[in-house]
Structures are given as C-alpha cells and as structure tokens.
Amino acid sequence: MTFEPCLNNEQFLKILPEDWKEYILTFWKDFKSTTACYVLIEDKKVIAGGLVFSKCPPDMFYAINESNKWFEKGYLYLGFIFVIEEKRHQNLGSIWLNHLKAKFPNQKYWLTIEDLKLDSFYVKNDFRKVKSLFNEDQEEWLYVFDPKGLM
C-alpha cells in the first residue's frame, strides 16, 4: 500500500459516493489550486483518500469567521476523508492520517464532523474536540490536531 498525492481529482472522485462527488465538482475548479488530495493505493487501486484545504471550503462557508481563525493560526482543513466500503474496518482512515502527519510532521489540522460516532476515531488519532458549531439546526463538532500538542 502506498500513500500518494492525487495525480488528478478523478483518481479520488471515482471512489466517492455520488452525492459527495457531485458536491465537490461544484467547487473544484475554484479550489483545486489551494487544495491537496492524497490517496492510499493498493494493487493500483485507490482505496482511501481525502482533501487538504488551505482556504475555507464551501461546506464551511456557514462558519467562515471560525474557519479563517484556524487558517490564520496555520491549520489546514481536512475534508471528505473516505475509505471504500470493502476496505472499511481495516484501520485505513488512521493509516491515511498517519501518512499525512508523517509527510508533514509540523503541520496542524482541523476538521468538523456531524456524526459523533466518529469522535473515538479522531480522538484515537490525536485530534481534540474544541467546540460545537451550528449549520442551521445541524450541530457539528470542530476537532484540531497539533503535532506539538499546543493548540
């Protein structure tokens, strides 16, 4: 298994659920220059991946001031982390995050989740829940990772 930057967005998009893919394509043209994509490849097939944003992605426009605060502190936003169905429960999300952290050992990251079932996954991967945000009536939780543990 290898951890690689995406050669093109299609490489990652082809594994995503259709609704994610359609949503990402609505903004990709404007964000591809400020967004990195990394994938896990096994037997020449993309099995997991995610996007690393260096400016506020559209799904966070509802909290633009909060987003900008984290970017100004040097954090990058992780979004659309995905593992293909047949490879779930094999620790690939953690493997993807660990490769990303190893590739950029001093980089800080932030992300949001809507499903609290993911809390233990992110806590296990050294993210800390910082606060709740509200997107209309939907509560989301903001998590941060600081390799120096300073936050």
Are residues 50 and 81 in contact, defined by beta-carbon separation less than 8 angstroms? yes
What are 113-118's contacts with CB under 8 Å, separation 24+?
113/140, 113/141, 113/143, 114/138, 114/139, 114/140, 116/141
d(CA 80, CA 50): 5
**Topology annotation, domain 2-145:** Aminopeptidase (3.40.630)
The predicted structure's pLDDT at residue 80:
95
Per-residue pLDDT of the chain (151 residues; tens, 9 = 90+): 999 998 777 889 999 999 999 999 999 888 988 999 999 999 999 999 999 999 999 989 999 999 999 999 999 999 999 999 999 999 999 999 999 999 999 999 999 999 888 999 999 999 999 999 998 889 999 999 999 876 5
